[in-house]
């Protein structure tokens, strides 16, 4: 199979600290791939290794079929987690500058920068300095700088953080657009709903180790199903549901897992009597639930193994 | 590859050069220089005429003699002007020239009193603009208009009792009509205790010392005469030994030192100072910029497109171009000044312009700026790459600044002994080579010294670049505390 990115038992240490441990991963071409994990789990280090900003201590990385990512730097697009712009530069200039750094010729880069900014609603800002922009606009400018050279593989570190809903939608459309054009998009996120809605594949890394990787369906299959409930009323009552093993209450939405042998139908009947049920669904757990459980289980395993960090 | 370095350099250059503050900063320097030179001159021009009166209870009118003695230098200077530079004189004076000079015959230092008085009166009557034009070209006119004596007769005090005169003069000083009045002592042969100067301005002492100089001369003459010493003998006795300054010229014989020649030897000091400022402005610019880029994390985007070495080289060259723009602008300002000044001000000290326009100085300045900058740039960019904030960077900079004091401290010393041991030794220390060699330019050093120190400097720049590259590559992505020296040394070895 043709892969945009392959990691083979990649390990990276900083002194005595292991940031990424024996990570193997394959990202097929043309998909959207989500990198999940807590802060400090090793996502950014992995991404930096892919971008050949860091070099792995052991293992091999192949990007777009090349063993050395430096050879294909110009075919990659990268939006780092912490986003900065040159404050004194004009937006069109900086987007074009990023394009030129990726090997675009001057006039094409200038033209395309203006075109992109205009298309994404920043037409009035072309000749304004970056320092005048809001955070959301700045982030948009950065993303445009990431994709101006039409990279085959785009890696976005936390592209949604700090964006308002409208800009999140713009970002989402941009990612979907890239997929439609046959590009491969990898993004890391803390927002499980984004991963769930957008990604063909997801992987999760916890404390430097890969926990799971695959399509959403693969990851969810075989996992214990749960009740997805939208409701109005007193959430505390949900905890008293007979046979409830675990309740994630969000106030208006709750995810409830039952002990083995308990019937969701009976639970529904019980719930209808106590809260206003707006939606009731019995299905695979959400990615959110899987994430939280994975973290818990992994921590317990580590504790049991006597590993302390 | 090189193309990307160029892109980074270009951006860096434009980023700096496009701002208004940059050009204001560049221009501020020559402008400040001109202002500080011009200000004293202008202020002196603006100074109001100080009027004074003289209370003279002596029988032999000592006051008048002092006044004449005080005015003699300016009058003789004026007479000399009439004699030597007739063509520059205003037309109104051309015709009367010969008449005015009567009595200034044989010894221009001792004109007869009548001639002095006549000329002095003319000077006071001349239109200010004419006199100013004459004054600009010649020293010695300063006091002509600055200090003006008001005669007691004009103040309506002639012949009144001494106490009444004192009271009236004190009132005039109080009112500001008079800046001050002098009272001549009654018995200058024996005691100087009752010479008085009465003024309410306690800070401006110029009038008092000017008048006191003249009074001293007069009193000395009086005392010498009263003790029976022949004035000619007295003058001889008082003469100071003066060594005429000469040097061994290119012909091998001793020849007089020309005006300006001495200044020329001291001139490198000014250039060293400018060089120092330029090198550190540019190197500091690089440091600030590196730390900023690192702290706002734009570095990561850049590193996904260019290699760390390309980035570093791009920044160094970009700022080098910025620095050369600064230095080039200064040189242009200097050349422009050299061209403009004689057209603006007549009779200016021309040797000064020769110094500013001296090609050895100008070329040394630009070349040593370039290599000095590169060396310090490599050090500072390495430093900057391991720091997360300007504050951290400043702490790390302190030892570098300690080194930097050396060229400043040794500046005057080296210019006095441009080929001395200290100067020679410092020339071979690459960190100091640019400053020391600039400093010695008045010497000037031997050609072989230029070659050898130049080679050492270039090799050091190359080594510093390599080392900086190794540190930069690791340091630029580091966050948290700056690394320890041991770690940095480890990087240097590892690379």
Task: Give pLDDT, residue B278.
Answer: 85
Across B98-135, b (16+ Cβ under 10 Å) vs e yields eebbeebeeeeeebeeebbbbbbebbeebeeeebeebb
- Which own/partner pairs from B20-24 qualify as long-range (CB within 8 Å, at least 24 positions apart)? B22/B322
Q: Residue B37 domain-assigned?
A: no
Containing structural domain, residue A240: 226-283
Residue reference for tokens 């308002």: A164
Say which residues have a Cβ less than 8 Å from residue B273's Cβ, sequence separation at least 6. Answer: B408, B411
A131 shares a domain with A199: yes
d(CA A35, CA B15) in angstroms, rounded, equals 36
B131 shares a domain with B87: yes
Q: Say which of A51, A85, A97 has its CB closest to residue B304.
A: A51
Task: Give pLDDT, residue B1.
Answer: 47
Q: Residue B256 domain-assigned?
A: no
A234 burial level (CB within 10 Å; 0-12, 13-18, 19+): exposed
B194 shares a domain with B141: yes
Q: Say which of A70, A89, A98 has its CB closest to residue B301.
A: A98
Q: Is A252 on the interface with B (CB under 8 A)?
A: no
B145 shares a domain with B54: yes
B448 shares a domain with B366: yes
Across A121-158, b (16+ Cβ under 10 Å) vs e yields ebeebeeebbeebeebbbbbbbbbbbbbbebbbbbbbb
Q: Backbone phi, then psi, for B111, in 5-degree steps?
A: -75, 160
* % of chain A at pLDDT higher than 90: 35
Compute chain A's Rg from CA coordinates: 22
Q: Residue B151 domain-assigned?
A: yes
Helical pair B390-409 and B359-385, crossing angle rounded to 10 deg: 150
B141 shares a domain with B21: no
Contact between B358 and B265 under an 8 Å Cβ cutoff? The reply is no
Q: Residue A303 domain-assigned?
A: no
Task: Give pLDDT, residue B119.
Answer: 73
Give the number of other Cβ atoms within 10 Å of residue B376's Cβ.
24
Which of A143, A97, A144 has its CA nearest to residue B8? Answer: A97
Q: Which two tokens stand for residue A187?
A: 């993004």
Cβ–Cβ below 8 Å for A51 and B303: yes
- The residue of A53, A72, A77, A106 whose CB has the most chain B CBs within 10 angstroms, and thus the best one to mutate to test that interface, is A53
A242 shares a domain with A102: no
Q: Residue B301 domain-assigned?
A: yes
Q: Residue A279 domain-assigned?
A: yes
Task: Give pLDDT, residue B457.
Answer: 94
Cβ–Cβ below 8 Å for A142 and B11: no
Residue B95 vs residue A76, higher pLDDT: A76
Q: Say which of B11, B19, B307 has its CB closest to residue A97.
A: B11
**Averaged pLDDT score across all residues of chain A:** 88
B274 shares a domain with B180: no
For residue range A189-199, what is the model confidence (pLDDT) as tens digits?
988 888 888 99
Task: Give the residue from A174, A196, A220 where a domain finishes.
Answer: A220
Residue A6's pLDDT band (cuts 50, 70, 90):
very high
Q: Which residues of A touch B314 (CB under 8 A)?
A: none
> Which residues are registered as beta bridge partners of A27?
A5
Helical pair B62-84 and B113-125, crossing angle rounded to 10 deg: 70
User: Can you give the CATH number for the domain in which A142 is found?
Assistant: 3.40.50.300
User: Can you give the CATH number for the domain in which A238 is found?
Assistant: 3.30.70
Q: Is A209 on the interface with B (CB under 8 A)?
A: no
Q: Residue A293 domain-assigned?
A: no
A254 shares a domain with A200: no
Q: Is B63 helix (H, G, I), strand (E, B) or coil?
A: helix
A238 shares a domain with A268: yes
Residue A114 has pLDDT above 90, yes or no: yes
d(CA B15, CA A89) in angstroms, rounded, equals 7
Regarding pTM above 0.95, the answer is no
d(CA B402, CA A224) in angstroms, rounded, equals 69
Chain A residue at shortest CA distance from B306: A101
Q: Residue A298 domain-assigned?
A: no
Across B17-42, b (16+ Cβ under 10 Å) vs e yields eeeeebeeebeebbeebeeeeeeeee
A to B CB pairs, distance under 8 Å: 55
d(CA B104, CA B94) in angstroms, rounded, equals 17
Q: Which two tokens stand for residue A139?
A: 């982030």
d(CA A81, CA A43) in angstroms, rounded, equals 10
A207 shares a domain with A262: no
Q: Which residues of A touch B11 (CB under 8 A)?
A: 86, 89, 97
Task: Give pLDDT, residue B89.
Answer: 63
Cβ–Cβ below 8 Å for B304 and A54: no
Q: Which residues of A touch B8 (CB under 8 A)?
A: 101
Q: Residue B105 domain-assigned?
A: yes
Which of A9, A5, A23 has its CA nearest to residue A69? Answer: A5
Q: Residue A302 domain-assigned?
A: no
Q: Say which of A80, A89, A145 has its CB closest to residue B300.
A: A80
Closest approach of B15 to chain A, Cα-based (Å)? 7
A160 shares a domain with A261: no
Q: Which two tokens stand for residue A3?
A: 């892969």
For residue range B92-148, what is the model confidence (pLDDT) as tens digits?
666 666 666 666 655 555 556 677 677 777 766 666 555 555 555 555 555 666 788
Cα dihedral B393, B398, B403, B407 sign: positive
Which of A187, A191, A203 has its CA nearest to residue A163? Answer: A191
Which of A175, A107, A108 has its CA nearest to residue A140? Answer: A175
Q: Say which of B15, B19, B305 has its CB closest to residue A101.
A: B305
Q: Backbone phi, then psi, for B332, in 5-degree steps?
A: -60, -45
Containing structural domain, residue B118: 49-237
> Which residues are registered as beta bridge partners of A14?
A17
Task: Give the residue from A220, A241, A262 where a domain finishes.
Answer: A220
A254 shares a domain with A150: no
A233 shares a domain with A141: no
Task: Give pLDDT, residue B480.
Answer: 66
A75 shares a domain with A95: yes
B220 shares a domain with B294: no
Cβ–Cβ below 8 Å for A100 and B296: no
A160 shares a domain with A272: no
Dihedral of CA atoms B336, B341, B344, B350 in degrees, nearest 10, equals -150
Q: Residue A14 domain-assigned?
A: yes
Q: What is the ipTM for the molecules in this complex? A: 0.79
Task: Give the residue from A196, A220, A244 where a domain finishes.
Answer: A220
Task: Give the residue from B217, B237, B257 where a domain finishes.
Answer: B237
Residue reference for tokens 């720049």: B461
Residue A309 has pLDDT above 50, yes or no: no
A180 shares a domain with A201: yes
**Residue ranges in chain B whose pLDDT is less than 50:** 1
A253 shares a domain with A126: no
DSSP-H helix ranges across B126-161: 128-137, 142-146
Residue reference for tokens 């009465």: B198
Task: Give pLDDT, residue B226.
Answer: 86
B220 shares a domain with B89: yes
Chain A residue at shortest CA distance from B6: A101
Residue A97 has pLDDT above 90, yes or no: yes
Q: What is the total count of domains within chain A?
A: 2
Q: Say which of A53, A100, A142 has its CB closest to residue B303.
A: A53
Task: Give pLDDT, residue A248.
Answer: 85
Q: What is the total count of domains within chain B?
A: 2
Q: Say which of A79, A89, A142 has its CB closest to residue B15.
A: A89
Q: Residue B254 domain-assigned?
A: no
Cβ–Cβ below 8 Å for B19 and A89: no
Chain B residue at shortest CA distance from A99: B305
> What is the DSSP pairing of strand A3-14 with strand A17-28?
antiparallel
Give the B-side interface with A, CB within 8 Å. 4, 7-8, 11, 15, 18-19, 293, 296-298, 300-307, 477
Residue B266 vs residue A158, higher pLDDT: A158
Q: Residue A292 domain-assigned?
A: no
Q: Is A142 on the interface with B (CB under 8 A)?
A: yes
Q: What is the mean pLDDT of residues A205-212?
A: 90
Contact between B386 and B482 under an 8 Å Cβ cutoff? The reply is yes
B287 shares a domain with B208: no
Q: Which two tokens stand for residue B108?
A: 């221009």
Cβ–Cβ below 8 Å for A54 and B477: yes
Chain B residue at shortest CA distance from A149: B305
């Amino acid at each position: 199979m043709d892969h945009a990115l392959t990691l083979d038992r990649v390990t990276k240490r900083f002194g005595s600290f292991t940031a990424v441990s024996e990570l193997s991963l394959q990202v097929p071409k043309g998909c959207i791939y989500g990198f999940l994990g807590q802060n400090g789990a090793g996502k950014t280090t992995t991404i930096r290794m892919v971008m050949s900003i860091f070099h792995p201590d052991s293992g091999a990385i192949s990007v777009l079929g090349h063993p050395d990512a430096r050879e294909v730097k110009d075919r990659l697009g990268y939006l780092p987690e912490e986003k900065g712009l040159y404050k004194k530069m004009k937006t069109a200039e900086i987007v074009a500058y990023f394009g030129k750094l990726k090997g675009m010729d001057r006039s094409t880069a200038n033209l395309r920068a203006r075109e992109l900014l205009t298309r994404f609603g920043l037409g009035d800002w072309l000749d304004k300095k970056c320092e005048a922009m809001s955070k959301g606009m700045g982030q948009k400018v950065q993303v445009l700088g990431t994709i101006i050279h039409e990279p085959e593989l785009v890696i976005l570190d936390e592209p949604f953080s700090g964006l308002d809903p409208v800009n999140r939608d713009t970002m989402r459309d941009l990612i979907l657009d890239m997929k439609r054009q046959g590009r491969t998009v990898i993004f890391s996120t803390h927002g499980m709903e984004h991963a769930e809605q957008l990604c063909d594949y997801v992987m999760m890394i916890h404390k430097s180790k890969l926990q799971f990787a695959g399509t959403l369906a693969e990851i969810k299959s075989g996992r214990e199903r749960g009740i997805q409930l939208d409701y109005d009323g007193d959430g505390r009552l949900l905890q008293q549901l007979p046979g409830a093993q675990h309740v994630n209450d969000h106030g208006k939405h709750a995810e409830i897992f039952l002990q083995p042998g308990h019937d969701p139908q009976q639970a529904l009947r019980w719930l209808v009597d106590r809260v206003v049920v707006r939606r009731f669904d019995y299905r695979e757990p959400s990615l959110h639930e899987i994430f939280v459980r994975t973290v818990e289980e992994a921590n317990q395993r580590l504790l049991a193994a006597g590993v302390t960090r | 590859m090189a193309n990307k370095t160029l892109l980074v350099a270009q951006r860096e250059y434009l980023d700096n050069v496009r701002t208004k503050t940059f050009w204001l900063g560049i221009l501020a320097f020559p402008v400040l220089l001109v202002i500080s030179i011009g200000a004293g001159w202008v202020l002196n021009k603006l100074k109001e005429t100080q009027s004074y009166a003289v209370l003279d209870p002596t029988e032999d009118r000592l006051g008048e003699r002092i006044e004449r003695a005080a005015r003699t230098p300016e009058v003789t200077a004026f007479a000399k002007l009439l004699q030597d530079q007739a063509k520059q004189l205003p037309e109104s004076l051309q015709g009367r020239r010969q008449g005015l000079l009567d009595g200034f015959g044989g010894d221009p230092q001792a004109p007869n009193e009548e001639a002095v008085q006549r000329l002095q009166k003319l000077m006071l009557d001349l239109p200010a603009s004419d006199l100013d034009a004459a004054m600009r070209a010649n020293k010695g006119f300063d006091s002509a208009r600055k200090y003006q004596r008001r005669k007691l007769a004009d103040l309506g005090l002639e012949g009144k009792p001494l106490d009444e005169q004192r009271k009236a003069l004190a009132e005039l000083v109080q009112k500001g009509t008079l800046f001050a009045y002098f009272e001549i002592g009654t018995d200058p042969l024996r005691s100087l205790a009752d010479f008085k100067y009465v003024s309410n301005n306690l800070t401006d002492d110029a009038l008092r010392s000017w008048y006191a100089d003249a009074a001293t001369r007069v009193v000395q003459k009086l005392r010498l005469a009263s003790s029976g010493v022949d004035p000619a003998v007295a003058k001889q006795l008082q003469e100071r030994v003066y060594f005429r300054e000469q040097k061994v010229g290119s012909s091998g014989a001793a020849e007089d030192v020309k005006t300006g020649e001495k200044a020329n030897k001291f001139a490198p000091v000014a250039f060293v100072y400018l060089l120092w400022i330029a090198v550190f402005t540019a190197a500091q610019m690089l440091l600030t910029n590196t730390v900023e880029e690192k702290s706002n994390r734009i570095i990561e985007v850049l590193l996904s497109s260019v290699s760390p070495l390309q980035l570093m080289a791009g920044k160094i060259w970009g700022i080098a171009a910025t620095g050369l723009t600064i230095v080039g602008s200064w040189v242009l300002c200097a050349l422009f000044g050299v061209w403009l000044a004689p057209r603006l001000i007549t009779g200016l000290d021309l040797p000064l312009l020769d110094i500013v326009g001296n090609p050895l100085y100008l070329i040394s300045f630009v070349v040593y700026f370039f290599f000095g900058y590169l060396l310090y740039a490599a050090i500072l960019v390495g430093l900057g790459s391991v720091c997360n904030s300007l504050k951290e960077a400043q702490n790390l900079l302190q030892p570098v600044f300690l080194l930097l004091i050396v060229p400043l401290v040794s500046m005057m010393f080296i210019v006095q002994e441009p080929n001395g041991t200290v100067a020679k030794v410092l020339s071979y220390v690459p960190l100091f080579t640019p400053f020391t060699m600039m400093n010695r330019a008045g010497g000037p050093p031997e050609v072989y010294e230029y070659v050898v120190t130049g080679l050492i400097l270039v090799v050091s720049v190359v080594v510093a670049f390599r080392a900086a590259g190794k540190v930069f590559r690791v340091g630029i992505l580091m966050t948290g505390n700056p690394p320890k020296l041991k770690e940095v040394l480890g990087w240097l070895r590892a690379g």
